[in-house]
Structure 1
Amino acid sequence: MPSSNFVDYVKIFGRSGNGGSGSSHFRREKFVEFGGPDGGDGGKGGSIILRGNSQFWTLIHLKYQRHIFAENGEAGGGARSTGKNGKDVIIDVPLGTVARDVETGKIVGEVTENGQELVLLPGGRGGLGNWHFKSATNQAPRYSQPGEECREGWFILELKILADVGLVGFPNAGKSTLLAAVSAAKPKIANYAFTTLEPNLGIVEYRDHRSFVMADIPGIIEGAHEGKGLGTRFLRHIERNSILLFMIPADTKDIREEYRILLNELQQYNPELMDKQRLLAITKTDLLDEELQEALSAELPEGVPSLFISSATGYHLPQLKDMLWDALQKENR
């Protein structure tokens, strides 16, 4: 596969900062014969934090920076002075990023909103200075608390594209052509399978200056949930789309069977995808007359709203936008 600027999977190692140790210090000034304990607290170690950034769309900036370390907190000083906190490391990530602990396999969290912060590894707490331990029976404690140790670990960051409408279909079903026709996106288009090797996003302008986001997901083939073709690499992007628009060309031998195969692949990958709204667009219908459309209508799967379209001529594209917008409004109720 050729190199690409789109990276949706990285493995990183992180280490937060140690907390600074507390100080065992005593007040020493002229004319103060018995100065008490005045050791300050240690500073907090720096944390490693993921932050959502809507201007990012890929994890490529982490591809070659896989070891990330935060600063240690500084030790406390006399006169109850607190040590300097270690600087946090903030990693900007695209919306839809999921962080998973490599060792346990558990999801640490996911970033879905601009500015949202997820603490991947918290910094160690600073230790308490000796003035905290002064008591009626121990007027001069000569001990303080050490800082808390850092935390470290390997994490997998996965990007799941966030979009209102996800285009689902076999390779060469016309997904990229539709995206180019209804938005300003410029995906690669050619008359062969697997033209699209990475998801493409486009903003579709609707009436009264309203808009929604459409995602062109690379084509699925039968057995994709088992790793065939492009495998599960891009199936996860479908999980974050509010509505799924299935696209099947008009010259397909059996439209109903192709729809069943696509639906089965999604169900095998993640059964929860069956809860999403599904719409169907029969593409490449510019060469069909009304009689052929009526004949094909009898072959369409039942229970899913459908529409015949042509991205090349613009046939029924306004009606498709209406259908998608109505479905989105229903989803947001």
Structure 2
Amino acid sequence: MKFVDEATIDVIAGKGGNGAHSFRREKFIPKGGPDGGDGGRGGSVYAIADRNINTLIDFRYARKHVARNGENGRGSDMYGAAADDITLRMPVGTIIYDADTGEELFDLSHHGQKVVLAAGGEGGLGNVHFKSSVNRAPKQWTPGKEGESRRLRLELKILADVGLLGMPNAGKSTLISRISNARPKIADYPFTTLHPNLGVVRTSESRSFVVADIPGLIEGASEGAGLGHLFLRHLTRTRILLHLVDVSSHDPEEDGIARAVGEAQAIVEELRLYDEALYKKPRWLVLNKLDMVENPEATKKAFIKAYKWKGPVYAISALSGDGTQQLIWDLQDAIDAYRHEDNIAEDRASGTHIEDPRFDQARNNIDDAPSS
């Protein structure tokens, strides 16, 4: 299925039905009085987050969503029927903007979340509502209200715990296929990945986390070069960034390491130019393809020294799997600690928090790596 992460749609709610102007007319009952019923409510347009959907492609082909109008009221105190609502199912992580003003309206951040995109108009009142002791034959009635209409821009930010970052051909697709159930396209040429891939990493029957792989970045990505800038938004919701660096073509000599360091610094600079919050996210360094160098340990030490890196660093081979097991265990521990912090915040907000010292060490182990 084609991956689509942006779409623009029009939503138009139904108009409320008009109230009725009617009087009761039956044999032997003179002056029956007003009996005009109310109009029915117009249909509304809702959006609901569905974790079983992972793309906005349906909204590329169905751009206009119009709810029906409510029925008009009738005599004999008969009220018009309300129109059926329309519910649009969208991926979890969809952000809904007003396309005209750019205002963010809704963020569908969890499964089952339901929001009103356009409210249907209320039905009008029949003349039965206007009778009084001084107005026994009212001719007043009110029309139904117009439903809301909006042009909306949908933007999908996929929900993942870990985001893979790096130059084209750094080995991101190979890594995600090694550690998760994702099966992205892998080839020996740049820009093999053309859209984000998600994979679930399962470390036990009850523990897992989600990894996102986006197209590789190149220098100038923040200004539109390459493909990766189109999908950087998908990394904004992640907990940890894994910065993959290909060291296979760089020996421990100073000039080779300098090239690798320059590429790594260029990626970090693109993050800073794109979004300061993304730039400040915890970032772990992963030196990949060490199975293709003569002296992996010397290459690792030379790179860390030249890059002046003080955060978490892992030396792996995504192709053979060497070093990946320790990486995913450490990621799982860190993600669990982050999730526990979120639970504490929610419990404190609801007044149900109970301190649990078992997670103190896990929280202390989270290393907020420097961003430079």
TM-score scaled by structure 2? 0.84
1:92 to 78, 89, 92: 89
Residue 19 of structure 1, CA deviation: 0.9
- After superposition, the C-alpha distances for 1:170-210 in whole angstroms (9 at most, x for unaligned) are 11111100000011211000111110000011110113431
> Following TM superposition, by how much is the alpha carbon of 1:29 offset from its aligned partner in structure 2, in angstroms?
2.9
Could you tell me how far apart the structure 1 residues matched to 2:329 and 2:23 are? 76
- The equivalent position to 2:281 in structure 1, one of 271, 276, 285, is 276
Deviation at 1:109, TM superposition (A): 1.1
Q: Secondary structure at the match of 1:295?
A: helix
Unaligned runs of 5+ in 1: none
Deviation digits for residues 63-88 of structure 1 (CA, Å, limit 9, x no counterpart): 21112211111111223322111121
Helix, strand or coil: the match of 1:32? coil
Q: Cα offset for 1:301?
A: 4.2
Residue-pair matches, total:
330
Q: Distance in 1 between matches of 2:306 and 2:206?
A: 37
Name whichever structure is richer in helix by fraction: 2
Displacement, 1:145?
1.1
Give the drift of 1:275. 4.1
Name 1:242's counterpart in structure 2.
239
Q: Shift in Å at residue 266 of structure 1?
A: 1.8
Identical counterparts, % of pairs: 45
SS of aligned partner of 1:327: helix
Q: Mean alpha-carbon deviation: is it higher for 269-278 or for 193-202?
A: 269-278
The CA distance in 1 between the partners of 2:310 and 2:27, in whole Å, is 90
CA contact (8 A) 2:217 2:229 kept: no
Deviation string, structure 1 residues 195-228 (Cα, Å, up to 9, x no partner) = 0000011110113431111111111112211111
Check whether the contact 1:277–1:327 (CA below 8 A) recurs between aligned residues: no
Tell whether 2:140 aligns with 1:135.
no
Q: For residues 16 and 139 of structure 1, what CA distance do their matches in structure 2 show? A: 36
Counterpart selection for 1:266 from 241, 248, 271: 271
Q: Which amino acid aligns with 1:306?
A: V
SS in 1 for 2:243: strand
Aligned residue number for residue 61 of structure 1: 58
Q: Is 56-65 or 127-136 further displaced after alignment?
A: 127-136
Contact 1:185 1:202 in 2 (8 A): yes
Q: Take 1:266 and 1:292, find their aligned partners in 2: how far apart are those partners?
A: 25
1:74 to 71, 96, 107: 71
8 Å CA contact retained: 2:261, 2:303: no
> Paired residue for 2:357?
none
Q: CA RMSD in A?
A: 1.8
Q: Which aligned pairs between 1:1-333 and structure 2 lie closer than 5 A?
A: 5-230=2-227, 232-251=229-248, 253-254=257-258, 255-288=260-293, 289=295, 290-332=297-339, 333=341
Cα distance in 1, alignment partners of residues 143 and 274 from structure 2: 49
Question: What code does the residue aligned with 2:291 have?
Answer: D
Judged with a 3 Å threshold, the aligned counterparts in structure 2 of structure 1 residues 80 and 306 are, in CA distance, closer, same or farther, namely farther
Quick check: 2:243–2:286 contact (8 Å CA) kept in 1? yes
Amino acid corresponding to residue 267 of structure 2 in structure 1: L
The residue type equivalent to 2:336 in the other structure is Q
What code does the residue aligned with 2:143 have?
P
Amino acid at match of 1:325: Q
Secondary structure class of the residue paired with 2:145 = coil
Any conservation in 2 of the 1:127–1:148 contact (CA below 8 Å)?
A: yes
Spell out structure 1 runs of 4+ moving beyond 4 A: none
Which one is further off, 31-40 or 56-65? 31-40
C-alpha distance in 2, partners of 1:67/1:195?
34
* Amino acid in the other structure paired with 2:283: R
Alpha-carbon distance between aligned partners in 2 of 1:54 and 1:66, rounded to the nearest angstrom: 21
Output the CA distance in 2 between the equivalents of 1:100 and 1:301: 41
Q: Is the 8 A contact 2:6 2:154 kept in 1?
A: yes
When normalised by structure 1's length, the TM-score is 0.93
Cα deviation, residue 315, structure 1:
1.0
C-alpha separation in 2, matches of 1:260 and 1:35:
86
- 1:256, 1:301 within 8 Å by CA — same for their partners in 2? no
SS at match of 2:144: coil
DSSP 3-state at the match of 1:286: helix
Unpaired runs of 5+ residues, structure 2, are 251-256, 342-372
Q: Please state how far the C-alpha of 1:132 moved relative to its aligned partner.
A: 1.8
